[in-house]
Amino acid sequence: MILYCQVCGEKQSEGANFCRKCGTPQTEDNSKEIMVKKTNSDEDSLSLFVGDNSDFYFEKWGILHGEHGEVRKTSWNWASFLVGFQWLGYRKMYKVIFVILLIWLIIDGLLFILNAYHTSIDILIGLTTYLILGFKGNYLYYSHALREINKLKKGSFLAEDIKKSGGRNIWGIFASFGLFFLYVVISSLLFSSTTSPFATEQVAFGYDIKNGEIVDPYQYFETEEEIYYSFYFPDSKGGSYKVVIEKVNDDSAEIYDSWESEVPPDWEGLYDTFITPSELGEYELKIIKENEVIAKGTFYVL
């Protein structure tokens, strides 16, 4: 039978008279197969779960040895702030990583639908996430530890099982990188303007065209220049459509020009030309078919 010290939970060699870790005499009464006394405070089991750094986390949680009051929900952790995902992986909190990345995917989807993506938004979301982990990381770890300990309480509650469930895992750092990479791939495939199955067809602009394709696509033009533009119908079917050019302002857009046109139903796409607006600024050209924007593109007049 495998024996554990009832005081510290250390695994004991057969016939040991004293615990090799804490020195407690190992009599038949206090060397038990069950890990620790199942106290209301869970202090012993938490200490075993965390491992060598338990004093640090006990201080952050506001837990005094032998006294288990209300746990502090907010405390600063530099590791969780500076290397958030890697810290979570190191402490085996893979579910937390998964939930964060799922929230990021949902935000990516909303920004895609609203056509509001900007690099600065990504930076803001990342910084906010790591700030939250800095302030709440310790409490997240406490909640994670209690959940895992409570699962083990339903079984034999052995010290070895608690130590194995908790502690640290260097491979968890690499797992966190892997999960983040998976998020990047999924987000790019779903919400990139070039690869997403939900993306609106892009209108290409340029000064010349060859074999129905824009030669050297370009977005910047001077006033009163002739611009070639081309696009494909998403369903590869032509027909009637409307062209709308909008002048983009800081917080709104106003229609600069619009016209209707039609091509044979078997046309998969087309090219055409127009003269650039006389007013400088940013413009968006939209192709509308059956009251739905099927293609769009942005150009600038400098």
> Is the Cβ–Cβ distance between 289 and 241 less than 8 Å?
yes
Cut 0.75: pTM above it = no
Q: So what's the pLDDT on residue 11?
A: 65
Tens-place pLDDT, residues 91-135: 999 999 999 999 999 998 888 877 677 778 889 999 999 999 999
Q: Give the model confidence (pLDDT) of 192-224 as tens digits.
A: 755 666 667 889 999 998 887 888 899 999 998
| pLDDT above 60 for 40 | no
Q: How far is CA 266 from CA 16, 233, 296, in A?
A: 88, 10, 21
Angle 94-97-99 from CA coordinates, rounded to 5°: 110
More confident residue, 4 or 212: 212
pLDDT band, very low/low/confident/very high, at 234 (cuts 50, 70, 90): confident
pLDDT 10s digits, 64-83: 755 556 889 999 999 999 99
- Condensed to tens digits (0 to 9), the pLDDT of residues 263-287 reads 999 998 899 999 999 999 999 999 9
Q: What's the number of CA atoms in the CB half-sphere (13 Å) around residue 214?
A: 21
Share in percent of the chain as helix, strand, coil (round to 5): 35, 25, 35
Instruction: Give the pLDDT confidence score for residue 210 in this predicted structure.
Output: 86
User: Helices marked H in 62-93 — which ranges?
Assistant: 78-82, 84-90
| pLDDT of 33 | 44
Instruction: Tell me the percentage of the chain whose pLDDT exceeds 90.
Output: 52
Q: Average the pLDDT over 41-58 and give the result.
A: 86
Return the bridge partners of 232, or none.
269
| pLDDT at residue 6 in the model | 62
Distance (Å, rounded) from C-alpha 94 to C-alpha 169? Answer: 11
The model's pLDDT over 137-188, given as tens digits with 9 standing for 90+, comes to 999 999 999 999 988 887 766 778 888 999 999 999 999 999 999 999 998 8
Burial of 168 (0-12, 13-18, 19+ CB in 10 A): middle
> Residue 142's pLDDT is what?
95
- For 173-180, the CB contacts below 8 A with 24+ separation are 173/86, 173/89, 173/90, 174/89, 175/89, 175/94, 176/85, 176/86, 176/88, 176/89, 176/90, 176/97, 177/85, 177/86, 177/89, 179/85, 179/89, 179/94, 179/97, 179/98, 179/101, 180/85, 180/97, 180/101
Kindly tell me if the per-residue pLDDT of 35 is higher than 50: no
Residue from 205, 258, 197 nearest 231 by CA: 205
